[in-house]
Structure 1
Amino acid sequence: MSTKEVISILDHQSVKSSKINKKFIEDEKRLKKVVENSAEETKSYVITKDTIYCSPISSLTLKRRAQFVNSLDQFPFVQAEVEELTE
Protein backbone atom coordinates (compact mmCIF):
# COMPACT_ATOMS: atom_id res chain seq x y z
CA MET A 1 0.00 0.00 0.00
CA SER A 2 1.28 3.44 -0.92
CA THR A 3 0.98 6.46 1.36
CA LYS A 4 -0.88 8.13 -1.52
CA GLU A 5 -3.74 5.64 -1.04
CA VAL A 6 -4.29 6.59 2.62
CA ILE A 7 -7.34 8.76 3.25
CA SER A 8 -7.11 8.86 7.04
CA ILE A 9 -5.53 7.23 10.06
CA LEU A 10 -7.71 6.95 13.16
CA ASP A 11 -6.43 6.22 16.64
CA HIS A 12 -8.13 3.21 18.25
CA GLN A 13 -9.01 5.21 21.38
CA SER A 14 -10.76 7.91 19.33
CA VAL A 15 -12.79 5.22 17.58
CA LYS A 16 -13.80 3.72 20.93
CA SER A 17 -14.85 7.10 22.33
CA SER A 18 -16.75 8.34 19.25
CA LYS A 19 -20.12 6.81 18.44
CA ILE A 20 -19.88 7.91 14.81
CA ASN A 21 -16.38 6.47 14.28
CA LYS A 22 -17.29 3.27 16.11
CA LYS A 23 -20.41 2.77 13.97
CA PHE A 24 -18.39 3.47 10.80
CA ILE A 25 -15.83 0.76 11.66
CA GLU A 26 -18.55 -1.71 12.68
CA ASP A 27 -20.47 -1.09 9.42
CA GLU A 28 -17.30 -1.61 7.37
CA LYS A 29 -16.58 -4.85 9.26
CA ARG A 30 -20.04 -6.10 8.28
CA LEU A 31 -19.23 -5.27 4.65
CA LYS A 32 -15.96 -7.19 5.06
CA LYS A 33 -13.88 -4.16 4.18
CA VAL A 34 -11.79 -4.36 7.37
CA VAL A 35 -8.52 -6.29 7.40
CA GLU A 36 -7.74 -7.35 10.95
CA ASN A 37 -4.51 -8.74 12.35
CA SER A 38 -5.78 -10.95 15.15
CA ALA A 39 -2.26 -11.70 16.36
CA GLU A 40 -1.71 -8.19 17.71
CA GLU A 41 -3.78 -5.51 19.42
CA THR A 42 -5.21 -2.81 17.15
CA LYS A 43 -3.77 0.62 17.92
CA SER A 44 -4.96 2.45 14.80
CA TYR A 45 -7.08 2.15 11.67
CA VAL A 46 -5.59 3.01 8.28
CA ILE A 47 -8.41 4.00 5.93
CA THR A 48 -8.10 3.74 2.15
CA LYS A 49 -10.76 4.04 -0.54
CA ASP A 50 -11.58 0.33 -0.54
CA THR A 51 -10.27 -1.09 2.73
CA ILE A 52 -9.64 -0.33 6.39
CA TYR A 53 -6.52 -1.92 7.88
CA CYS A 54 -6.23 -2.57 11.62
CA SER A 55 -2.68 -1.73 12.60
CA PRO A 56 -0.69 -2.66 15.71
CA ILE A 57 1.29 0.58 15.20
CA SER A 58 0.14 3.81 16.83
CA SER A 59 -1.32 6.54 14.65
CA LEU A 60 1.46 8.94 15.73
CA THR A 61 4.17 6.49 14.62
CA LEU A 62 2.39 5.88 11.31
CA LYS A 63 2.19 9.65 10.76
CA ARG A 64 5.91 10.05 11.41
CA ARG A 65 6.77 7.20 9.05
CA ALA A 66 4.54 8.63 6.31
CA GLN A 67 6.20 12.04 6.67
CA PHE A 68 9.61 10.37 6.39
CA VAL A 69 8.61 8.44 3.26
CA ASN A 70 7.14 11.59 1.70
CA SER A 71 10.34 13.50 2.45
CA LEU A 72 12.32 10.83 0.56
CA ASP A 73 10.19 11.53 -2.52
CA GLN A 74 11.70 15.02 -2.67
CA PHE A 75 15.15 13.65 -3.47
CA PRO A 76 15.86 12.77 -7.09
CA PHE A 77 16.57 9.13 -7.82
CA VAL A 78 20.16 8.64 -8.84
CA GLN A 79 21.20 5.42 -10.44
CA ALA A 80 24.86 4.73 -10.01
CA GLU A 81 26.67 3.11 -12.88
CA VAL A 82 28.79 0.22 -11.81
CA GLU A 83 31.74 -0.70 -13.95
CA GLU A 84 32.89 -4.27 -13.83
CA LEU A 85 36.57 -4.65 -13.04
CA THR A 86 38.32 -7.06 -15.34
CA GLU A 87 41.90 -8.17 -15.39
Structure 2
Amino acid sequence: MFLHLGSDNMITTDQIIAIINIDEIVNKSIQDIIDIGIVEKKVNQIVPKDKAKSLIITTDRIFLSPISSATLLKRAKQSHEGGNYDTSGKWI
Protein backbone atom coordinates (compact mmCIF):
# COMPACT_ATOMS: atom_id res chain seq x y z
CA MET A 1 0.00 0.00 0.00
CA PHE A 2 1.09 3.57 -0.66
CA LEU A 3 0.95 6.62 1.59
CA HIS A 4 0.80 10.15 0.15
CA LEU A 5 3.12 12.47 2.13
CA GLY A 6 2.39 15.70 0.26
CA SER A 7 3.59 17.40 -2.95
CA ASP A 8 3.45 14.24 -5.09
CA ASN A 9 5.62 12.26 -2.63
CA MET A 10 4.46 8.73 -1.90
CA ILE A 11 6.04 5.80 -0.08
CA THR A 12 5.01 2.22 0.52
CA THR A 13 3.61 1.64 3.99
CA ASP A 14 5.91 -1.33 4.59
CA GLN A 15 8.88 1.10 4.61
CA ILE A 16 7.53 3.14 7.54
CA ILE A 17 9.29 2.84 10.88
CA ALA A 18 7.67 5.86 12.60
CA ILE A 19 5.44 8.86 11.97
CA ILE A 20 6.10 11.60 14.52
CA ASN A 21 4.29 14.88 15.18
CA ILE A 22 6.94 17.60 14.67
CA ASP A 23 5.42 19.75 17.43
CA GLU A 24 6.18 16.99 19.93
CA ILE A 25 9.85 16.71 19.00
CA VAL A 26 11.66 18.16 21.96
CA ASN A 27 14.27 15.45 22.19
CA LYS A 28 17.68 16.75 21.06
CA SER A 29 18.57 13.28 19.73
CA ILE A 30 15.69 13.46 17.24
CA GLN A 31 16.75 16.97 16.17
CA ASP A 32 20.30 15.67 15.72
CA ILE A 33 19.03 12.79 13.55
CA ILE A 34 17.21 15.27 11.32
CA ASP A 35 20.23 17.57 11.06
CA ILE A 36 22.63 14.68 10.30
CA GLY A 37 20.17 13.30 7.76
CA ILE A 38 20.03 16.68 6.02
CA VAL A 39 23.84 16.84 5.83
CA GLU A 40 24.01 13.23 4.55
CA LYS A 41 21.24 13.95 2.02
CA LYS A 42 18.94 11.30 3.50
CA VAL A 43 16.15 13.75 4.31
CA ASN A 44 13.43 14.56 1.81
CA GLN A 45 12.27 18.03 2.80
CA ILE A 46 8.84 18.11 1.20
CA VAL A 47 8.55 21.46 2.98
CA PRO A 48 11.19 23.45 4.88
CA LYS A 49 11.92 22.17 8.39
CA ASP A 50 10.10 25.10 10.02
CA LYS A 51 6.92 24.39 7.98
CA ALA A 52 6.82 20.61 8.53
CA LYS A 53 4.01 19.09 10.59
CA SER A 54 5.30 15.53 10.70
CA LEU A 55 8.49 13.51 10.51
CA ILE A 56 8.32 10.15 8.74
CA ILE A 57 11.19 7.74 9.37
CA THR A 58 11.50 4.94 6.81
CA THR A 59 13.95 2.13 6.29
CA ASP A 60 16.28 4.33 4.25
CA ARG A 61 15.11 7.96 4.38
CA ILE A 62 13.54 10.64 6.55
CA PHE A 63 10.70 12.81 5.24
CA LEU A 64 9.53 16.20 6.53
CA SER A 65 5.86 16.47 5.54
CA PRO A 66 3.33 19.33 5.58
CA ILE A 67 0.64 16.79 6.51
CA SER A 68 -0.12 16.13 10.18
CA SER A 69 0.83 12.81 11.75
CA ALA A 70 -2.86 12.19 12.60
CA THR A 71 -3.89 12.60 8.95
CA LEU A 72 -1.05 10.37 7.76
CA LEU A 73 -2.05 7.69 10.27
CA LYS A 74 -5.68 7.89 9.12
CA ARG A 75 -4.60 7.57 5.48
CA ALA A 76 -2.36 4.60 6.26
CA LYS A 77 -5.21 2.81 8.06
CA GLN A 78 -7.63 3.52 5.22
CA SER A 79 -5.06 2.35 2.68
CA HIS A 80 -4.83 -1.00 4.44
CA GLU A 81 -8.62 -1.26 4.42
CA GLY A 82 -8.64 -1.15 0.61
CA GLY A 83 -9.40 2.48 -0.12
CA ASN A 84 -7.92 4.90 -2.61
CA TYR A 85 -6.89 8.57 -2.98
CA ASP A 86 -7.39 11.02 -5.80
CA THR A 87 -4.47 12.97 -7.28
CA SER A 88 -4.70 15.65 -4.57
CA GLY A 89 -4.31 13.03 -1.84
CA LYS A 90 -7.97 13.16 -0.76
CA TRP A 91 -9.67 9.90 0.21
CA ILE A 92 -12.19 8.71 -2.41
> Is it true that 1:33 corresponds to 2:42 in the alignment?
yes
> Is it true that 1:46 corresponds to 2:56 in the alignment?
yes
The structure having more radius of gyration, on CA atoms, is 1
Aligned partner (choices 51, 73, 78) of residue 63 of structure 1: 73
TM-score (norm 1): 0.73
TM-score (norm 2): 0.69
Whose strand fraction is larger, Structure 1's or Structure 2's? 2
RMSD between aligned residues: 1.9
Give the count of matched residue pairs.
72
User: Structure 1: any 5+ residue segments left out of the alignment?
Assistant: 74-87
Higher RCO, Cα 8 Å, sep 6+: 2
Whose helix fraction is larger, Structure 1's or Structure 2's? 1
AA of the residue aligned to 2:64: C
User: Structure 2: any 5+ residue segments left out of the alignment?
Assistant: 1-10, 84-92
- Report percent identity of matched pairs: 32
Mean alpha-carbon deviation: is it higher for 17-26 or for 56-65? 17-26
